[in-house]
Amino acid sequence: MENDVLVVGGRAFTSRLFTGTGKFAADALIPKMLASSGSQMITVALRRIDSSARSENILDHIPRTVTLLPNTSGARNAEEAVRIARIARAAGCGDFIKIEVITDTKYLMPDNWETLKATEILAKEGFLVLPYVLPDLPLAKRLESAGAAAVMPLGAPIGSNRGLETASLIALLIENCRVPVVVDAGIGRPSHAAAAMEMGADAVLVNTAIATAQDPVAMGRAFSLAVAAGRTAFLARMAEESQVARASSPLTGFLNEDG
């Protein structure tokens, strides 16, 4: 397991748990959560300033050793996503970008078509693109060809905590994609994260389930353990299922047997 490194966009990560900075009751919890979870990649968002809001800089709460993954949330089409990505990079956030293009405000479903367009443009500009998408295999292959560094299919709607509702579609991506598959959105419990890793997902991205837990720091650790357990199980190759019982103890030499 020590040599089990995840490579995304040419960078190596020993943690397969990506986290987010949204919804924390206090930003000061973020570095504590990063320490407890061991997460090495974390998302941030870009917004217009709001004079009434706190002027704290979220980046001050993220240690330099953790890779920033700015997202393009708020973008409604490829052009807006591209613009946000360029601003984030120019502002010193590095080359990683999570493409998030959403027009549906009820379910926050990503617009796969616009996401593909943005990926094509940004990959050419040298961005390390992680597109957030509905799990659609032909689309994932197109994203791969367009130069995406990974694909990030959703398990369930953002913030819904419902788990891997799209499991069978994600499985197709895992089986057929050359780039890492990172399950993003919907993961509500450590067991969901473990299940995704058992399936062979390369990583998971968890925000709401950690940030809105009563103790986000402890929950960060719980997710870290679950991700490690699921990954280890995947590498250990799970035993087969059976429709009938298969005794674990020998079926011979019973004490009540007559000679």
Compute how many residues bind other proteins; rule: CB under 8 A.
36
The residue among 158 and 164 lying less far from other proteins, judged by its C-beta, is 158
| Total residues belonging to the chain | 259
> Does 204 participate in binding other proteins (rule CB under 8 A)?
no
Please compute, for residue 69, the number of CA atoms within 13 A of its CA located in the half-sphere on the CB side. 29
For residue 80, CA distances in Å to 75, 91, 182, 185, 225 come to 5, 16, 23, 21, 37
Catalytic residue among 32, 98, 106, 141: 98
Q: Which amino acid is at 209?
A: A
Q: Which of 55, 65, 242, 243 binds other proteins (CB under 8 A)?
A: 55
Q: Which of 15, 21, 39, 112 binds other proteins (CB under 8 A)?
A: 21
Q: Which amino acid is at 231?
A: R
Q: How far apart are the first and last CA of the chain?
A: 49
> Does 86 participate in binding other proteins (rule CB under 8 A)?
yes
Question: In whole angstroms, what is the distance from residue 17 CA to residue 215 CA?
Answer: 18
Element (H, E) at 128: strand 128-133
- Which window, 41-49, 162-170, 191-199, 243-251, contacts other proteins (CB under 8 A)? 41-49
Q: Which of 15, 36, 43, 224 binds other proteins (CB under 8 A)?
A: 43
CB of 228 to other proteins, least distance (A): 22
Question: In whole angstroms, what is the distance from residue 126 CA to residue 141 CA?
Answer: 19
Question: In whole angstroms, what is the distance from residue 168 CA to residue 164 CA?
Answer: 9
> Does 76 participate in binding other proteins (rule CB under 8 A)?
no
Please compute, for residue 175, the number of CA atoms within 13 A of its CA located in the half-sphere on the CB side. 9
Active site residue 98: yes
Contact map string, positions 110 to 149, toward other proteins, x by CB under 8 A: ----------------------------------------
In 3D, which of 27, 24, 25, 7 has the Cα closest to residue 16? 7
> Does 221 participate in binding other proteins (rule CB under 8 A)?
no
Tokens of 47: 């917004």
Q: Which of 13, 16, 20, 139 binds other proteins (CB under 8 A)?
A: 20
> Does 158 participate in binding other proteins (rule CB under 8 A)?
yes
DSSP SS3 for 229:
helix
CB of 135 to other proteins, least distance (A): 18
CB of 200 to other proteins, least distance (A): 23
Q: Which amino acid is at 46?
A: L
- Which window, 3-11, 81-89, 123-131, 175-183, contacts other proteins (CB under 8 A)? 81-89
Active site residues: 98
Residues that bind other proteins (CB under 8 A): 20-24, 27, 30, 43-49, 55-60, 70-71, 73, 83, 86-87, 90-91, 93, 158-159, 185, 205, 207-208, 211
